Structure 1
Amino acid sequence: MNFLHLAASTAYTTPPLWRILTKSGYFVGLCGAIGFTVTYAAAIRPALRAPGSERGDVAALRQRAAVSLAWAGVVLLVAGYFQLAARVARVGKGMPFGDALAPGRIWDFLCAPAARGAWVPQGTIYLVQNIVLVLASAALIALFSPGARRHLNALALTALPLSAAVSLVAAVPATAPANADRVLDLVFDQVHIVSGTVWTGGLVLLVALAGVRRRLGGNAGLLWADIWRRFGFVALVCVGAALTSGLWISWKHVGGIGQLWTTTYGLFLLVKTLLVLGMVAAGGVNQFWLMPRIAQARRADATASLLHLTLRHFPKVVWAEVALGAGVLAVVPFLSGSARTQAGSPAPVATGSVFAVGALLVLTLVASLWMTAKASDALSRREVAAAA
């Protein structure tokens, strides 16, 4: 059975182009706002404040970080507007997307009364979400001003919770969840979105910062080794959260392994899964090959080697992760519906045994990530011992 015949034989409907572009663009905006601010707060800011860094290196990285955060605010603001218009078009029952861009139609959508049984109008939730989005964007866009860059830390740390709230507020249900499964769906969806945007957005920000390597001094390798080490921990947490939430989401939407290649939804999910596993594999290269060598060069005080590893080799691997992450964002808009629905499978039922198996899988995942970190550290020590 070829792909075209498969698509025609299922209930899957390809989303229109405007839906594909607005949804991908919205997640790109979240990657910039959430990923950039979290990475700056957790990895870049502490490294820049560490003693021993040259003032010129710190100034160059602060300036590039400020400009990157400012552009993230622009992208979030533009993407948020188009995403809001897409919501209006979807509610409008055949309304052309061009008409949905009109401010008057958007305002009517935001001011619509609550549906029967709702505790709050859906438009009010989106109104609050977009107010938060504008505030987050404003805090980031302010960094275009050289004067505001003196308050980089304050603005970035202000934008961080606001950026996360953009996604969290939109997930607030207008009606009470029917059961505990629905609550878990909402929670795991947000865990998946936030962890994925932090992981992907952080990689993009670090690649952008690595572009200033020609302006850095010969000792910048020490600073970058600290940045990569700190972000490695952030990425490890994000991988664990994304895979854990992904297990729940996949179980809810896929009734069996065979549905990954017998349904259109399953095929797109399979492609997304392979792309994510590619990102995990690239991260494994960083953990098991590059980080031990960086640790060795750092402890051996090999300045030239450290600079080469942190600003030449490492960004190349990260670029591969960024490309795979872009592929994931391109696939996400096509994940509409459910493989279970397309295959005619019954809806899943969360029982005690299901939660027990899920808990076992999560514990196994956490243990594997912990072993990954320990193995990387052990390789670092072994490299240093071998060199000695």
Structure 2
Amino acid sequence: MHTASLAATTAGYAMPQLWRILTKTGYFIGLSGAIGATVTYATTVRPALRTATARSEDAEVLRRRTAHYLAWTGVVLLVAGYFQLAARVARAGKGMPFGDALAPDRIRDYLQAPAAKGAWMAQGTLYLVQNVVLVTAAATLIALFVPAVRRQTDRIALAALPLALAVTLIAGVPTTTPADLDAWLNPVFGQTHIVAGTVWLGGLALLVALAGTRKHLGDGAGLLWAETWRRFGLVAMVCVGAVTVSGLWLSWKHVGGISQLWTTGYGIALLVKLLLVSGLVTAGAFNQFWLMPRIVRARTTDDTTSLLHLTLRHFPKVVWGEVILGVAVLVVVPFISGSARTEAGSPKAVSSGTLFASGAALAIALAVSLYATAKASDALARRGLPSSAA
């Protein structure tokens, strides 16, 4: 009886085709690489390398690895962007086979199609601008394969950062005037969700890749990496807050009740994503409440052996698990299509003053909880230290 009911409820759900799963997952991997790596380099790696604890030899090793990593993210972004554009062509209008949509002339026709009635810009023109920016961002990053250019890694990374962000932000620009406040907020929260998620997951991947240089680092590299993990912990907490707030808005727009999480195709896919993200948050909490306090204590007591072990062996193992969970999240994303409300026949979600007040209160509570998390981690780090060291 339950199986029959579930089949009836999910009848309106369209399972994505394999090419759609691969292109969308690949596109978000490309965005995570470009956005996450450049933002994390600017906010975490670069400042840590400039601290007094960074040996010049260790800093050079990490800069060189970062440059190669950024160059490869450019390659991935370029390839993923092309297949994502072809996927848009395949889904446009009455649709066409994905293989046909890969042809340059089909892509050209799509990008040159006239604007729809009432639109201020053609959808194809918007995607043309997006992909010009994408190619520019990718080319900027790919230039780091050239040895002479790698000497300017800081400038290249900082130049690529706004370009990488613009790739997704441009895609969120509406081509018609939004009808109401909700229509304005949907792309805002959608892009917030994408940017925060890609910074979080892409940053984790970059730091795991950099941790692979531990055999080429000196015994004092633990101090450098302690600062790196500390800085990224703050970035990750901001991302968690942004992903949570934007995710709640998007979930409310598309899910009309808790039961729709397991009685609709959209809801089931979203539930799987929520479980995976919960795993990411749990791993992050483990880092904050168990690993970071131990790193701080080792740093304070000048225990370089423990510090090196914690920052370059133990911590990266946990982060590897987070990266795997993050990739799983991106694989699930293509399955979250349509709306659970539509499948279940629920009314359209309409915002109100009460909703915004509740959302503001929730955002404040979340900010307070994240601040309390940081303070609790500091308190745990000070536990057991001599009063002079604390």
| Amino acid corresponding to residue 34 of structure 1 in structure 2 | I
TM-score, structure 1 normalization? 0.98
- 2:76 alignment partner in structure 1: 75
Q: Distance in 1 between matches of 2:277 and 2:104?
A: 37
Identity of paired residues, percent?
67
Tell me the SS of whatever aligns to 2:177: coil
Q: Distance in 2 between matches of 1:51 and 1:309?
A: 20
Q: Does 1:99 align with 2:100?
A: yes
| Cα offset, 1:383, TM superposition | 3.8
Gaps of 5+ in 2: none
Matches within 5 A, 1:351-362: 351-362=352-363
| Cα offset, 1:384, TM superposition | 2.4
Q: Does 1:292 align with 2:299?
A: no
- Indicate if the aligned counterparts of 1:293 and 1:383 stay in contact, CA closer than 8 A: no
- 2:312 alignment partner in structure 1: 311
Q: Distance in 1 between matches of 2:6 and 2:22?
A: 24
| Cα offset, 1:281, TM superposition | 0.6
- 1:184 alignment partner in structure 2: 185
- Indicate if the aligned counterparts of 1:26 and 1:79 stay in contact, CA closer than 8 A: yes
Matches within 5 A, 1:297-376: 297-376=298-377
- Give the root-mean-square deviation of aligned CA atoms: 1.4
Q: Distance in 1 between matches of 2:3 and 2:370?
A: 36
| Cα offset, 1:362, TM superposition | 1.1
Q: Does 1:127 align with 2:128?
A: yes
Q: Distance in 2 between matches of 1:256 and 1:94?
A: 32
Q: Does 1:234 align with 2:235?
A: yes
Structure 1 residues 68-88: Cα deviation after superposition (integer angstroms, max 9, x where no partner): 000000000000000000000
Structure 1 residues 59 and 345: CA distance shift in structure 2, 3 A: same
| Amino acid corresponding to residue 88 of structure 1 in structure 2 | V
- 1:84 alignment partner in structure 2: 85
- Indicate if the aligned counterparts of 1:188 and 1:249 stay in contact, CA closer than 8 A: yes
- 1:6 alignment partner in structure 2: 6
Structure 1 residues 215-273: Cα deviation after superposition (integer angstroms, max 9, x where no partner): 11100000000100010000000000000100100110111111111111111111101
Q: Distance in 2 between matches of 1:75 and 1:266?
A: 30
- Indicate if the aligned counterparts of 1:7 and 1:264 stay in contact, CA closer than 8 A: no
Q: Does 1:257 align with 2:287?
A: no
Moved over 6 A (4+): 2-5
Structure 1 residues 198 and 383: CA distance shift in structure 2, 3 A: farther
Structure 1 residues 111 and 41: CA distance shift in structure 2, 3 A: same
TM-score, structure 2 normalization? 0.97
Matches within 5 A, 1:17-166: 17-166=18-167
| Amino acid corresponding to residue 299 of structure 1 in structure 2 | T
Q: Distance in 2 between matches of 1:287 and 1:293?
A: 10
Tell me the SS of whatever aligns to 1:120: coil
| Amino acid corresponding to residue 149 of structure 2 in structure 1 | A
Structure 1 residues 95-139: Cα deviation after superposition (integer angstroms, max 9, x where no partner): 110110001110111111111100011111000000000110011
Q: Distance in 2 between matches of 1:309 and 1:118?
A: 55
Gaps of 5+ in 1: none
Tell me the SS of whatever aligns to 1:147: helix
| Cα offset, 1:363, TM superposition | 1.1
Structure 1 residues 141 and 7: CA distance shift in structure 2, 3 A: farther
| Cα offset, 1:94, TM superposition | 3.2
- 1:222 alignment partner in structure 2: 223
Q: Distance in 2 between matches of 1:386 and 1:271?
A: 46
- Indicate if the aligned counterparts of 1:292 and 1:383 stay in contact, CA closer than 8 A: no
Q: Distance in 2 between matches of 1:365 and 1:60?
A: 38
Tell me the SS of whatever aligns to 2:121: coil
Q: Distance in 2 between matches of 1:376 and 1:384?
A: 14
| Cα offset, 1:386, TM superposition | 8.2
Q: Distance in 2 between matches of 1:111 and 1:88?
A: 12
| Cα offset, 1:2, TM superposition | 6.5
Q: Distance in 2 between matches of 1:210 and 1:192?
A: 27
| Cα offset, 1:146, TM superposition | 1.0
Q: Distance in 2 between matches of 1:145 and 1:383?
A: 50
Tell me the SS of whatever aligns to 1:116: coil
| Cα offset, 1:5, TM superposition | 6.9
Q: Distance in 1 between matches of 2:210 and 2:74?
A: 17
Structure 1 residues 170 and 24: CA distance shift in structure 2, 3 A: same
Structure 1 residues 354-378: Cα deviation after superposition (integer angstroms, max 9, x where no partner): 1111111111111110100111111
Q: Distance in 1 between matches of 2:4 and 2:276?
A: 22
Segment of structure 1 superposing worse, 279-288 or 47-56: 47-56
- Indicate if the aligned counterparts of 1:125 and 1:169 stay in contact, CA closer than 8 A: yes
